[in-house]
Amino acid sequence: MFVEEYPYLSKYKYKNVMNLEDRGYKYYPYGKLMRIGKLYFYHGGHYSTISHTRQHTMNLGKNIVYGHTHDVQRAGVTHVDGAHHAFSMGCLKDMSKETNMWLNNRQVNWAHAFGVADWFPNGDFRLEVVDIVNGKTFLWGKEIDGNKTASGGKMLKKLSNNK
């Protein structure tokens, strides 16, 4: 928002700094929805109540994935045209006290997680939320230890090649 206020700093906008277009990515501004099949994605932040996933499904009436709240949560609501679900995907950020001094020791319910999505030809989807506990998780029956950066990366590459 600071850069938006001072146009001469526009070269520092996220989309410019990341060279997204040059790298083949489409940029979606904060709050704008991206759709793949019957599933929408956005940064999040429209609804940040304690039951934010329920608020998303109630208010949007669509299947939605977001991460703004940094916690893992899921809710479903049935609308006239069927059930819709919202998925809050957590985060992958460093949650140590040292890197989050701005919280002033406030306790948070943030959690590490990511998702794996598959789409059916008609746009239906299956989303698997993969929780990470103390740097470790299981994916497709294999343990991944992110505390060992090199082996964790090798394991993800191996799993990807086997799919």
Contacts of 33 (CB under 8 A, 6+ apart): 40, 41, 42, 64
One domain, residues 125 and 137: no
Percent of the chain with pLDDT over 90: 58
Mean pLDDT of the chain: 88
Query: What tens digit of pLDDT does each residue of 137-153 get?
Result: 999 999 999 888 655 45
Query: What is the model's pLDDT at position 21?
Result: 87
Helix (H) or strand (E) holding 143: strand 142-145
120 lies in which domain range?
15-131
Query: What tens digit of pLDDT does each residue of 5-37 get?
Result: 877 777 777 778 888 888 999 999 889 999 999
One domain, residues 58 and 97: yes
One domain, residues 102 and 124: yes
